[in-house]
Amino acid sequence: MRSSLWLSRLISGVGLFTLAGCIPIATQWKLRHFDPATADIAQLRVAVRPPAWATATPERTVLAAKYEFADGGPGRTLDIHLRRGAHPEDRVALERLTPAAESLVVYEAAAADLVAIRAFQAEIGKADQGGRHGRGEATVVGSLACRTADIPEGPILVDAYIHASDELGWLPLAEAADLKAYMPANENIEDRAPFCEKPAGRGAR
């Protein structure tokens, strides 16, 4: 299903899309049959361990999803708000994968958006099955994290794990991956992680 290609981008967006190039082979293999076009998005979540100078801000993040049909017909858009996940069973499962699991922050789609997401999936899936294909993308609006200090020189190491479904459980997405190495050339880490509060002494530019 071509629509699953777009929804894969959506999942990458939730799971620190810039790290898509370093997903372990074992995780790719376990996800080989996972179809985000039909998956239960309520089960999809990503855990991230931000750098020491960053504070996770899932509540400030929106994924602006857009799907355009190849026949030129009216496209579809959907804003997906992220929230901080709170699932008691996650801690135990994540502790099996990584030490200091308590420092991980879980991102997931807001419960209030799930009905709209499922309708969006169903509409695009029905069109795709009927031969009406298209192309979609998801853009991050807002910030996944803010920073409390200037970004230091050197690598920015990030850990991330994905829970694609209850059946698959938690899987590593990236471990000690250098965010700078995977940032697109046209992206700026300072823009992606603005200051949580303007530091004293910094005037408007």
- pLDDT value of position 15: 41
Reported pTM: 0.81
CA distances from 88 to 4, 93, 100, 119 (A): 30, 10, 16, 28
Residue 21: what pLDDT? Answer: 60
* 170/175 Cα distance (integer angstroms): 13
β-bridge mates for residue 62, sequence order? 81, 141
Q: Of 204, 205, 198, 193, whose CA–CA distance to 51 is shortest?
A: 193
What stretch of H or E contains 89? helix 88-95
92-109, pLDDT tens digit by residue? 999 999 988 889 999 999
Among 109, 139, 110, 116, CA closest to 46: 109
* Ranges under pLDDT 50 in the chain: 1-17, 203-205
How many of the other CB atoms lie within 10 Å of CB of 2?
15
Distance CA 163, CA 8 (A): 14
Give yes or no for a contact between 37 and 7, defined as CB atoms under 8 angstroms apart: yes
CB atoms within 10 A of CB 104: 22
